[in-house]
Chain A
């Protein structure tokens, strides 16, 4: 049983990373942002742009003597398509039991082209929670303490302590390959326990076996009618009609998963759209880890988003990313030669960079694992979507002559 790593006096010791990033002593994390807003940085105006010494100007007819004008107009474009808006979770008045709902999608421009159109719904991060013992990277276990022993305390920890907007409950226990696979009825109980424990919207994830997942989804969608769960995942090798009808009938949302192939993504969306309105489908075109296929994942997502905006009706769903897959990269979890630093820093940064890259391709919903990585992504999203007013260019120009 790993205990929380003991704090060392060394200020760079990574176990402090999360505390520093998240301000864990704050129980209420309403987007507290100690990195930016609460840090009073005392600015030393350095040697700024001192007037250059006079140089004997070379008198030449050809050379301009003052700046030539060249005004810039923002290159704004209109797109015929728009990404669907999808709401997850339902409050009491909406037929569910959640304290709040989460809405994603609705883009009219490529990701963060805020010079064209503002970000209607900033991307959201959902914390991964597993319903049974899973091999977690040490860097993650260190941060979760004992919370990861069972899905209820794990969910409570990420919501109450870390301010999670959403939880993804992975029902790995139902896998037929387990010595004693959990039954659909047992899976329902786990989902209900987590719904009782936290009041954020929930993603319910299967084990990847198309038949077992469908059997479990059948029970879960009915038992949690009206909660607007995100049912993860519906794939091409499942009985699509049956699963889509379950999602539709009981008021949930489908997560359509395709294996890094735009044509399959289109086909799956097309088939789901026969039974579900576009406000009830999110697509996941597969996330590969940084260094292990992130380029494919990025380009498939970027192409999907651009095609959707250009009017392809089969690619206009918001996108979800299993960013936790970043931990599949050996550089994320392995102890490497000392020059590559502490894996407790390298690991979560691996997850951060994987997430940020896909965010720029258009991902709307991130499923993530390491608390510091989640905190960082949320922080960046906030920075990208906050209007700043006037920027102090001198402040940043200081980097040239400051002792940093």
Chain B
């Protein structure tokens, strides 16, 4: 790895963990033995709490040691309460390939205390109802940021009250004036909103509020990490534990510094053991709107670029102004991609899929259940305008070539898939088109399934042409 490891994930070995476990091999955790449990702990696939004997007072020391060893590099902070409370941070590594990322960037949309009731209501509904189903995941937005533009404590309080009556989404209270923030807190004293923000000028009052209402608190020091650390150190000494870092988001001039600051903070936390920077980060792409382009479309466009880069570069939460499907869809899909566990091959369900409106004379094709392969193939068939039956074979989530080479996709699994799919009741013919990359299985498939095999193109982009030429 690129960074020198000082503590943190990479130095842990299952042996280190194992030596602190009870070594009873009691299986209560669900694993065969303590060594297996230790291995899973290192990979963060289980929780130390699952070891029941460890809760015995005689292991108190070991338990504390383990908890410390397994602590994420970045502290986890919870915003809000109840069903839709959001956890941010809790990061274990700097680069996703080192293990995986946890707690996808939480996205907040803003409202202000000077917007009309209709506008507030429609923005809150937009945020709350946002939903896009993508590879079986529901992409959503997480929070509402309420900004005080009126600088009027009563107005702010009323707005916070209105929003909290409309939604259970966690709230971020935004003002540099602690009296305004406090009036907002009075409306939702038990909701654990995120307070934005403590600065070099108001930190004491903000710290008091965070303690009094038990809330997480953002410390803000645009482009000044020394000040940011100093604020964190002061907050911790003051007794505020749940701190969130805002190093400033400069959407125009200063974009380079912004990316640098987020990157340096995450490196310091994950790889250099900097406790003061081991807190979740907050990005504010909304700052793009402080220097608007010629029209809202272009400003939305710019905000989306900045947000996308900060999803990749270490933002644990972000505040966005444009409530637009066209800009938020790519952003939430990107977040889903970046936060996918790279250790797990992404698989789709092995089943038969009808593309278009196939009938008894339509072609029958097959592919693997590796999500990427499946979606590419389905996409290519769909855009070709053909109606076909596509049999998705369980290849344990591997692509065609590696599936065939690694014997995860064999003539047997394909013949079984044909049987189980029920395709023989759907079509009159017995012709199966297989991917070019599975060509060497063709003879064996014919023997086992009694279907005729046609070897299709090497790449699914050739399917349209193949069907045009070969499917009569």
Contact = CB atoms under 8 A, between A and B. Distances in A.
A79 B4 CA distance: 11
Contact of A328 (B276, B305, B376): B376
B431 interface: no
Nearest to B174: A400
Interface string A115-156: 100000000000000000000000000000000000000000
B333 A20 contact: no
A329 B60 CA distance: 53
A1 interface: no
Contacts of B178: 52-53, 55
B263 A35 contact: no
Contacts of A380: 255, 305, 309
A57 B293 CA distance: 44
Contacts of A402: 149, 289-290
Interface string B310-347: 00110000000100111101110110111010100000
A71 interface: yes
A376 B301 contact: yes
Contacts of B340: 295
A42 to B, nearest CB: 10
A353 interface: yes
Contact of A401 (B175, B267, B298): B175
A249 interface: no
Contact of A288 (B292, B312, B372): B372
Most chain A CB neighbours (cut-off 10 Å) among B4, B174, B256: B256
A2 interface: no
A404 B321 contact: yes
Interface string A33-50: 001100101000011111
Interface in A199-233: 208
Interface size class of A (residues with CB under 8 A): 35 or more
A256 interface: no
B222 A397 contact: yes
B462 interface: yes
Contact of A339 (B225, B293, B325, B372): B325
Contacts of A70: 226, 229-230, 232-233, 276
B465 interface: yes
A393 B376 contact: no
A69 B334 contact: no
A67 B284 contact: no
B333 A49 contact: no
B408 interface: no
Contacts of A67: 200, 203, 230-231, 234
A39 B342 CA distance: 43
Given A63-B239, A71-B226, A302 B95 contact: yes
Nearest to B332: A291
Interface string B427-457: 0000000000000000000000000000000
Q: How would you classify the secondary structure of chain B's contact residues: helix, strand, loop or mixed?
A: helix
A57 B207 CA distance: 11
B177 A356 contact: no
A293 interface: yes
A360 B462 CA distance: 32
A342 interface: yes
Contacts of B309: 356-357, 360, 380
Contacts of B293: 20, 35, 39
Of the candidates B204, B223, B286, the one having the most CB atoms from chain A within 10 angstroms of its own CB is B204
B356 to A, nearest CB: 14
B71 interface: no
Contacts of B149: 46, 401-403
A349 B327 contact: yes
Contacts of B379: 292, 328, 330
B297 A17 contact: yes
Given A12-B295, A291-B337, A391-B254, A310 B229 contact: no
A393 B260 CA distance: 16
Contacts of A352: 304-305, 308
A290 interface: yes
A74 B321 CA distance: 32
A64 B248 contact: no
A275 interface: no
A385 B256 contact: yes
B201 A357 contact: no
Contacts of B272: 75
Contacts of B248: 391, 393, 396
Interface in A301-328: 302-303, 306, 309-310, 328
A402 B228 CA distance: 23
A353 B334 contact: yes
Nearest to B459: A208
Chain B interface size, as a band, is: 35 or more
Nearest to B147: A400
Contacts of A24: none
Nearest to A294: B337
Among A58, A74, A291, A309: residue with most chain B CB under 10 A: A291
Contacts of B254: 388, 391, 396
B28 interface: no
A310 B95 CA distance: 15
A291 B313 contact: no
Contacts of A115: 260, 263-264
Contacts of A343: 326
**Residue among A77, A302, A384, A404 with max Cβ neighbours from chain B (10 Å):** A404
Given A11-B295, A74-B264, A396-B249, A349 B201 contact: no
A51 B330 CA distance: 40
A75 B267 contact: yes
Contacts of B268: 72, 75
A340 B256 contact: no
Contacts of A184: none
Contact of B337 (A35, A46, A290, A309): A290
B326 A384 contact: no
A68 interface: yes
Contact of A113 (B134, B263, B294): B263
A44 B39 CA distance: 58
Contacts of A288: 372
A7 to B, nearest CB: 14
Contacts of B263: 112-113, 115
A160 interface: no
Given A75-B267, A299-B96, A291 B333 contact: yes
9 contacts: A39-B293, A39-B294, A41-B292, A48-B176, A65-B204, A306-B2, A331-B330, A384-B255, A396-B249
Interface of A: 11-12, 14, 17, 20-21, 35-36, 39, 41, 46-53, 55, 57-58, 62-65, 67-72, 74-75, 77, 79, 110, 112-115, 177, 208, 288, 290-296, 298-299, 302-303, 306, 309-310, 328, 330-331, 339-343, 345-346, 349-350, 352-353, 356-357, 360, 376, 380, 383-386, 388, 391, 393, 395-404
Interface of B: 1-4, 95-97, 112, 114, 132, 134, 147-149, 151, 174-179, 196-197, 199-205, 207-208, 220, 222-226, 228-234, 237-239, 248-257, 259-260, 263-264, 267-268, 271-272, 276, 284, 286-287, 289-298, 301-302, 304-305, 308-309, 312-313, 321, 324-327, 329-331, 333-334, 336-338, 340, 342, 372, 375-376, 379, 382, 459, 462, 465
Given A36-B252, A53-B177, A388-B256, 5 more contacts: A39-B291, A112-B263, A331-B330, A360-B312, A404-B292
